[in-house]
Amino acid sequence: MSMTSDIQVSFDTDFFNIINNELVDTSSKRRTICSSTKQPLKFEVPVATKEDVDRAVDYAAKAYPSWSKLSWDKRAEYLFKFADAIEANKDGFIKLLSLEAGKPPQAAAFEMALVIGLARQIPLLRIKEDRPIDDEERTAIVRYVPLGVGVGIIPWNFPLTLGIGKLLPALLAGNTFIWKPSPFTPHGALKLAEIGAKIFPPGVFQALSGDDSLGPWLTSHPGVAKVSFTGSVETGKRIMASCAGTLKRVTLELGGNDAAVICDDVDIPSVVNSVAFLSFVHSGQICMAIKRIYVHEKIYDQFLAEMVKQVKTFKMGDRSDPEAFFGPVQNEMQYEKVKSLYAKIGAEGWKAAVGGEIKDSEGFFLPATIIDNPPDDSEIVQHEPFGPIVPVLKWSDEEDVIRRVNDTKLGLGASVWSSDVPRAQRMAEQLEAGSIWVNTHFELAPSVPFGGHKESGIGMDWGEVGLKGWCNPQAYWVKHLKPKSANL
Ligand code: NAD
């Protein structure tokens, strides 16, 4: 269902927190840094106080009873209106994403396509009730009831997609929601909430931007029932510890070190095409990007040579370059972290098949780099770089490569590529990860959940599983006084 919307917001203004459908200023403000120029962006963003948090949580709690009593279809109607309004403001969001996340236009448009896809399809989801017992004497229903005030804590790499993927299921299931964007990328979320304020009842959808104190205030707040977090493993552990104080529900979508296993029977050009794209899209700053490429030794040299050829065609450029495939790393902290891996190429004796040398530039630019067969215990294999640098490794024995892929604390995604699909499926089914793929990777859909195993997370976002994460399961027993057919 797609309708036009006449809701328009200005992207050429200062940015405000949205509390109870009002644009709320703060006495302290800050500017974020453009990753292409290292200069502060023009528009200031608010720095929320503890009092702002208390007010937002109170308003969210006040809005909850009437919002949760609406039918699923009625709440979905609100969400469809919201989707229409987001689409009507799409061009503004694409420019804003380019500015705040450092995404070249192609990459920003890709993110907005994901956002609009989620906004249109999540409202169609429903939870199926289960009746494990339904006989003459009694009926037991497992139903799902909303939790209350939900909080979404969002990272900077896909600042809108990852937030929308929490906000919409939370609201659809009957919760109210406070969105906390990353301090690196707060603008888009605040604009989305400004649009939301023109659609949802007050207190249903609020957004607070702040500094490093804001997240802990929200996770420890007794009025918050659930925290859904996407970000690093270390922060995920801190959030879970903080939520334990009030036994909040948590969903944690954390880091990944996804492996792709390439068998010796693949069509090399087409698989190289996909694998190179999935390793370097958005400079590798994707939780589910391919981060370790295991290639069968029989085709290793040819595969690597074709990868190098392909990677050389990827144009790096800034937010104004319509032809750029990937842009800079989003922020200085991440840039320094990834840069330290480039420094290890010489120090550790790794061989760069392409890239490796950082040129002086105005922004946080790092060249696409492939490390040729480093040792399994090297940092580039063991840790998620979250930047445009990927190791390619050799394998020869199926059982051994599966062991090597699984030999990590992380378990977000993993794939096997082979022309022999049953063989690939047999291998893939042994991989320890929240998403496993055959002949693809980073394949997602709003109706299919995604999340991590092991230290890559707890719970899943999206799909019916994601919706259930915004609910308490409830066992509902009815004892029939008369024969059931006359009663239920
Ligand atoms: P991060 O953990 O540094 O920050 C994420 C968010 O948490 C930010 O909004 C930050 O302000 C907030 N935060 C930080 N400390 C907090 C605390 N103590 N309490 C409450 N909130 C706190 O992560 P990042 O650097 O923004 O993102 C990169 C990481 O995210 C990578 O590891 C990546 O793999 C992961 N990631 C995972 C997924 C997934 O779905 N599994 C998706 C994207 C990114």
Residue 302 forms part of a structural domain = yes
Pocket test for ligand 1, best of 232, 239, 291, 330 (most atoms within 8 A of CB): 232
Residue 12 forms part of a structural domain = no
Q: Tell whether 216 and 336 lie within a shared domain.
A: no
Tell me which residue has tokens 């949802």.
200
Q: Report how far apart, in Å, the C-alpha atoms of 306 and of each of 156, 268, 301, 324 are.
A: 32, 8, 9, 21
Which CATH number fits the domain that encloses residue 205? 3.40.605.10
Q: Tell whether 115 and 233 lie within a shared domain.
A: yes
Residue 5 forms part of a structural domain = no
Q: Report how far apart, in Å, the C-alpha atoms of 2 and of each of 193, 218, 379 are.
A: 20, 35, 47
Q: Tell whether 65 and 144 lie within a shared domain.
A: yes
Q: Tell whether 236 and 310 lie within a shared domain.
A: no
**pLDDT tens digits in sequence order for the chain, 488 residues long:** 567 899 999 999 889 999 999 999 999 999 999 999 999 999 999 999 999 999 999 999 999 999 999 999 999 999 999 999 999 999 999 999 999 999 999 999 999 999 999 999 999 999 999 999 999 999 999 999 999 999 999 999 999 999 999 999 999 999 999 999 999 999 999 999 999 999 999 999 999 999 999 999 999 999 999 999 999 999 999 999 999 999 999 999 999 999 999 999 999 999 999 999 999 999 999 999 999 999 999 999 999 999 999 999 999 998 889 999 999 999 999 999 999 999 999 999 999 999 999 998 999 999 999 999 999 999 999 999 999 999 999 999 999 999 999 999 999 999 999 999 999 999 999 999 999 999 999 999 999 999 999 999 999 999 999 999 999 999 999 999 976 665 55
Ligand 1 centroid distance, CA of 154 (Å): 6
In whole angstroms, give the CA distance from residue 324 to residue 313: 10
β-pairing, 259-262 with 205-207? Answer: unpaired
Residue 186 forms part of a structural domain = yes
Q: Tell whether 250 and 324 lie within a shared domain.
A: no
Q: Which domain holds residue 428?
A: 259-438
Tokens of 238: 């801190």
Q: Tell whether 134 and 213 lie within a shared domain.
A: yes
Q: Residue 217 is inside which H or E element, if any? A: helix 214-219
In whole angstroms, give the CA distance from residue 253 to residue 287: 9
Active-site entry in 287, 306, 384, 471: 287
* Total count of residues recorded for the chain: 488
Residue 320's nearest CA partner among 87, 14, 13, 37 is 37
Q: Residue 437 is inside which H or E element, if any? A: strand 435-438
Q: Tell whether 269 and 364 lie within a shared domain.
A: yes
User: Active site includes 243?
Assistant: no
Active-site entry in 87, 100, 111, 253: 253
Which CATH number fits the domain that encloses residue 403? 3.40.309.10
Q: Tell whether 162 and 82 lie within a shared domain.
A: yes
Residue 449 forms part of a structural domain = no
Q: How far apart are the first and last CA of the chain?
A: 34
User: Active site includes 253?
Assistant: yes
β-pairing, 138-146 with 471-479? Answer: antiparallel
Q: Tell whether 87 and 63 lie within a shared domain.
A: yes
In whole angstroms, give the CA distance from residue 383 to residue 337: 11
Q: Tell whether 214 and 164 lie within a shared domain.
A: yes
Ligand 1 centroid distance, CA of 385 (Å): 14
Q: Tell whether 269 and 239 lie within a shared domain.
A: no
β-pairing, 138-146 with 130-134? Answer: antiparallel
Phi-psi region of 231 (alpha: psi -120 to 50; beta: other; left: phi over 0): left
Q: Tell whether 301 and 422 lie within a shared domain.
A: yes
In whole angstroms, give the CA distance from residue 161 to residue 256: 18
Q: Please count the structural domains in the chain.
A: 2
Residue 376 forms part of a structural domain = yes
Ligand 1 pocket (Cβ < 6 Å) reads: 153-157, 162, 180, 182-183, 215-216, 219, 230-232, 235, 238-239, 253-256, 287, 384, 386, 412, 452, 457
Using the atom order of ligand 1, give the atom closest to the CA of residue 461.
Answer: 40
